[in-house]
Structure 1
Amino acid sequence: MPNHASFSLKARLQSFVHAFAGIFQLIREEHNARIHLAATVVVVIAGLALHIGRVDWLAIVIAVGLVWSAEAFNSAIEKLTDQVSPEWNARAKFIKDVAAAAVLIAAMMAIVIACLVFIPRLIRL
């Protein structure tokens, strides 16, 4: 039987420290993450300025969270693939391309959601 450690608040807090370190590394090391950060800031400011409703905020938060999650997974997959297979090979390329495609799909859907939320409000100004 595996040895399960008892619950430790210190260990739980440390896991959050590691997770936030990962977010900061992502922003510091990945150019696309900085683009996502800028887009997130713009969308939040636009949402506040245009007084969007709760359902619209929900859609925006889900879209932004999905893009950030996809970017984090993509970056981790790319780093792991480079570590495991430093030389070029077709499988590694496929893995990295599909992971990047996930980010692209999420970002495109986030743009669609942003357009659905903001364009009607901008037209009414």
Structure 2
Amino acid sequence: MKDNRFVKGRIKSVTYSVIGAWKLVSSEHSIMVQFSLGVAVTIAGFYFNITATEWMLQTMCIGLVMAIEGANTAIEKICDFIHPDFNRKIGFIKDIASGAVFFAALAAIVVGTIIYYPRIAAFF
């Protein structure tokens, strides 16, 4: 008899991940903004017929920003749970997590500019 615990465990894990992603997209405003921007640049990618390499870079940037934003949200929730009142050290931790999102978003903006600026400039 085959042991299916591994497969069942992986299915359960993916289910929790999908539920977590849905919670992020449906309840956190920062994720909603990032998700909307991801959809917008995906539509732009089809409109401007970007190359396979550009699709890979764009997809990686969207995933990176969303993942870091999700981690930032989790860090903020943990901090608020541990210490709901204002605390300088908690504020410092939250600022660092937010800074990580800033770096990811900045990189995504640079990649997006490299991909789309020449195409948009060609219209003018």
Tell me, yes or no, whether TM beats 0.5.
Answer: yes
Question: Unaligned stretches of 5+ in structure 1?
Answer: 1-5
Whole-Å separation in 2 of the counterparts to 1:33 and 1:106 = 13
Q: Is residue 56 from structure 1 mapped to residue 61 from structure 2 by the alignment?
A: no
Q: Give the structure 2 partner of residue 122 of structure 1.
A: 120
Whole-Å separation in 2 of the counterparts to 1:123 and 1:72 = 33
Deviation per CA, 1:46-105: give whole Å up to 9, x if none: 001111001111110111111011101000000111111122111100011111111112
- Tell me the SS of whatever aligns to 2:84: coil
Q: Give the structure 2 partner of residue 104 of structure 1.
A: 102
Q: Give the structure 1 partner of residue 75 of structure 2.
A: 77
Q: Give the structure 2 partner of residue 33 of structure 1.
A: 31
Q: Which amino acid aligns with 1:46?
A: A
Q: Which amino acid aligns with 2:43?
A: I
TM-score when scaled to structure 2?
A: 0.91
Deviation at 1:7, TM superposition (A): 4.9
How many pairs align? 120
Q: Matched residues, percent identical?
A: 33
